[in-house]
Chains A and B, each alone.
Chain A
Amino acid sequence: DAKTTQPTSMDCAEGRAANLPCNHSTISGNEYVYWYRQIHSQGPQYIIHGLKNNETNEMASLIITEDRKSSTLILPHATLRDTAVYYCIVRVDTNAGKSTFGDGTTLTVKP
């Protein structure tokens, strides 16, 4: 699985959009980009994934650059409950369960 690079920490004001970047410059053509988050004292929670097109669901939007070497997770209206560690992972979908987790980005949403 390709390695990802994320900033260690970010702050965001409550109600504003949180934009979390991820670099995955060695991603292969058949690898998907997945995002998970882990709220303190809980198991990781799936957020969204994509291959090359931008994706949106009820939780977030995923923007993948045309060369697929980086992506951005967007939480459109961050709330205090979105404070968590966010993990960006790339992997081949047929091997969806086995994932290599980096250190993630600690997002702190402030009032």
Chain B
Amino acid sequence: SAVISQKPSRDICQRGTSLTIQCQVDSQVTMMFWYRQQPGQSLTLIATANQGSEATYESGFVIDKFPISRPNLTFSTLTVSNMSPEDSSIYLCSVSSGNTIYFGEGSWLTVV
């Protein structure tokens, strides 16, 4: 199994600012994933982060808005840049371990 810690768990942010979310895993993993869950909606994959290479973004998400770092096999960050109220969401970090995917508890962001 894998235990995932995300920081911050919650935050209220001013529009126009940027916030970096951290994801720490208790074991080394090859692939890490970032998801967004808007209020009342399902999960949407933002990007896949592999150590040593640039993140791969899904359609509708761009690096300038959601820059991702993956400095080692246990850590990743997602930055939400130039935030607007539409960015108010839960941001979830996820990893694969064996045949199973594990999720962090999410970072709840409210943009005002």
Is A11 part of the contact surface with B, judged by Cβ < 8 Å?
A: no
A93 and B99 contact, Cβ closer than 8 Å, known pairs A43-B105, A98-B33: yes
Q: Which residue of B is nearest A34, CB measured? A: B101
Q: Which residue of A lies closest to B30 (CB)?
A: A97
Name the A residues within 8 Å of B105 (CB-CB): 42-43
Chain B residues whose C-beta falls within 8 Å of the C-beta of A36 in the assembled complex = 101
The dominant DSSP class at the B interface is strand
**Secondary structure of the A side of the interface?**
loop
For A, the interface residue count at a CB cutoff of 8 angstroms equals 20
Classify chain B's interface size.
Answer: 20 to 34
Which of B42, B99, B100, B106 interacts with A43 by CB under 8 Å? Answer: B106
**Contact yes or no, A46 B42, CB < 8 A:** no
Does B102 reach chain A (CB closer than 8 Å)?
yes
Known: A102-B42, A104-B42. A49 touches B99 (CB 8 A): yes
For B95, the closest partner residue in chain A by CB is A97
A101 with B42: CB separation less than 8 A? yes
Q: How long is the Cα–Cα vector from A32 to B98 in the complex, in angstroms?
A: 14
Q: Say yes or no: B48 contacts A103, CB within 8 Å.
A: no
A43 to B102, CA, bound (A): 9
Contact A98 B48 (CB under 8 A): yes
**A97 x B103 contact (CB < 8 A):** no
Chain B positions within 8 Å of A, measured between CB atoms, are 4, 31-33, 35, 42-45, 48, 92, 94-96, 99-106
> Nearest 6 pairs between A and B by C-beta?
A43-B103, A97-B96, A101-B43, A101-B42, A97-B31, A44-B103
Q: Which residues of A pack against B, CB within 8 Å?
A: 32, 34, 36, 42-46, 49, 87, 93, 96-104
